[in-house]
Amino acid sequence: MPTRQNNVLGHTNSRKPYHTKNHVEKTDTLIYALGGLGEVGKNMYCYEHENEICIVDCGVLFPGDELLGVDYVIPDYHHLIRMNKKRKFLVITHGHEDHIGGIPFLLKQVQIDAIYAPRFAKALIQKKLSEHKGLENTKIIEINEDSRVSTRYFTVGFFNTIHSIPDSLGVLITTPNGTIVHTGDFKFDLTPVGTNADYQKMAHIGVLKPDLLMSDSTNSGVEDFSISEKKVADEILEIMRKTKQRLIVATFASNVHRVSQIIEAAVKCKRKVIVFGRSMENVVDIGRKMGTIHIKNSDMLSPDELAHTPDDKICIICTGSQGEPLAALSRIANGTHRHIHLKPGDTIVFSSNPIPGNTSSVNKVVDNLFRAGATVLTKSVLNNLHTTGHASKEEQKLMLQLIRPRYFMPVHGEYKMLMQHRQTAMEVGIPKENIFVCANGDILILRNHEILQSDWRYQGDDIYVDGNDISGLSTAVLKDRRILADNGLVAVVIAIDSKINKILMRPVIVSRGFVFIKDSQGLIKEAEFIVNASLQERMKEKTTFSELKNCVRSTLEPFLYRKTHRNPIVIPVIINSKATMEELQNARKTARKPRKVNTSHE
């Protein structure tokens, strides 16, 4: 948990209690995050004043391996659902999934008046909402650096920033209590691909002395300036020229500028381009429609044409740079891709860095590619095959110097990153008592150009999405999956005749993933006897199926833990049929008879 800023506490009136300065008043502007603090993903920042809430971004977090079967992690929208009577509008800074991926889940639970999104993000959101029934006609208003959104209490303006996707915006929010600058994801690149950052507008905002800056912390631990995207483009073009065989380039589908540069390099080298991976195909399709990606139909290949095109005229762009098992590159490496089979001499370029936690997956894919005889090029000190879309330490200092805020709140990063950004802010002269390192749900109070931290907070939990379920029930399902993975399952089959309130035979216990049955016959038999005795006692009186199941669980679970120190999921199965039980008994006897072994030789 972040440290509380006790040094901002104080007295406004000597007759008031000590804590009242931090108590929320009706005229205060509240600032809080429901996602994006202490994590890289599910960004969602809220600005609330009386009956209006301005929401900036609504993203998802992609689950790690420990979240078994979970598709997405989204913020807990509980507070916004409770505030459904308040007017809410959503502002999007750019079109990456960790900023727009949660929109369908939010719209299904919360009334949003309108979504304001830059051009490329709008196209991506429309594509996403078209896949969700009932959301196709959501009102999305296109914005740019000159746009202004005005409501009763908020005025929202924008400025261009540089990121790895077109149409990336920073946000200036004016409230009755002061001004807030939200950078979104950004970097500074003096030779950018696409639109340049609006340094003049940022400097002008700094002259106006905004009250609070909320700034991207992802690369807080990276020294110096990041490499220019143009250098990466030059490196890829040089590789294209030198390579005499088929070329496969793997990168993030979300890095639209990189994909554009790869395509332009391929066209310059007279290579035909083919794209694999659903997300990559979507981005290229939208990029061509938006005019961000320039390639003629005649320079594109279809899968059918691939086999009939000379290898030195082919450039394959695909997903899978993070070693995702179902992505195109992993299937190519494993030899299971429908259209591409590796040949000795193929060159594979990883135009990305492994995200922390993905290194072993990436290494496994690289190893398989080498085994197939391919040449693999990855980012190293010897080349510039990748650059980040997030500001490093020196770029963060430049943003702080341009905006010159009175107060600072690092956002979009793990706790370590937020603390490193805090240190950077102190280095450029922001007093440590004016810096707030918060967690999801913590509330800052903006009151008459002064920032305080509230002594209470909103719910800021994770919600796990399995399929399209957004009820939060997947959280309970996930718990069961973890128990199954660690401790296994024990099913107890009970035969009763409810008419005479009698157990027809001793319970049968079946185990999966709990113990090795052959070595645990004694344990299973003892468990069957103990459960049988407990049921016999329970059925001396009239009972219900639910009570019988509870009886099985409460008897068996402590016994199994005492014997094995494991807590398997116990599932009682009650069969209320004499005929069925006779069949089960016969099957049980047959299974226990020793089999005849034919030892004769022909």
Q: Is 390 a catalytic residue?
A: yes
337 assigned ligand-binding residue: no
Instruction: Count CA atoms closer than 13 A to 149's CA, side-chain side.
Output: 28
185 assigned ligand-binding residue: yes
254 assigned ligand-binding residue: yes
69 assigned ligand-binding residue: yes
386 assigned ligand-binding residue: yes
389 assigned ligand-binding residue: yes
455 assigned ligand-binding residue: no
Q: Where are the alpha helices (DSSP H) in 383-444?
A: 393-403, 415-427
Are 109 and 470 contacting, i.e. CB atoms less than 8 angstroms apart? Answer: yes
257 assigned ligand-binding residue: no
- Vertex 488: Cα angle to 482 and 492 (nearest 5): 130
Marked catalytic residue, from 49, 79, 182, 390: 390
To which H or E segment does residue 212 belong?
strand 212-216
565 assigned ligand-binding residue: no
151 assigned ligand-binding residue: no
179 assigned ligand-binding residue: no
Residue 367 CA to residue 360 CA, distance in Å, equals 10
27 assigned ligand-binding residue: no
254, two tokens = 């979300």
Q: Are strands 508-512 and 489-497 parallel, antiparallel or unpaired?
A: antiparallel
CA gyration radius for the chain? 30
94 assigned ligand-binding residue: yes
98 assigned ligand-binding residue: yes
Residues facing residue 357 across a β-bridge: none
To which H or E segment does residue 554 belong?
helix 545-564
Residues facing residue 117 across a β-bridge: 142
Q: Is 216 a catalytic residue?
A: yes
Query: In the structure, how many helices (H) and strands (E) does the chain have?
Result: 17, 25
Marked catalytic residue, from 76, 167, 216, 442: 216
Residues facing residue 493 across a β-bridge: 508, 573
69, two tokens = 């079967």
The SS3 assignment for 316 reads strand
195 assigned ligand-binding residue: no
- Catalytic sites, residue numbers: 216, 390
Binding residues for Ca(2+): 69, 71, 466
The binding site for Zn(2+) consists of: 94, 96, 98-99, 163, 185, 412
Binding site, by residue number, is 69, 71, 94, 96, 98-99, 163, 185, 253-255, 386-390, 412, 466
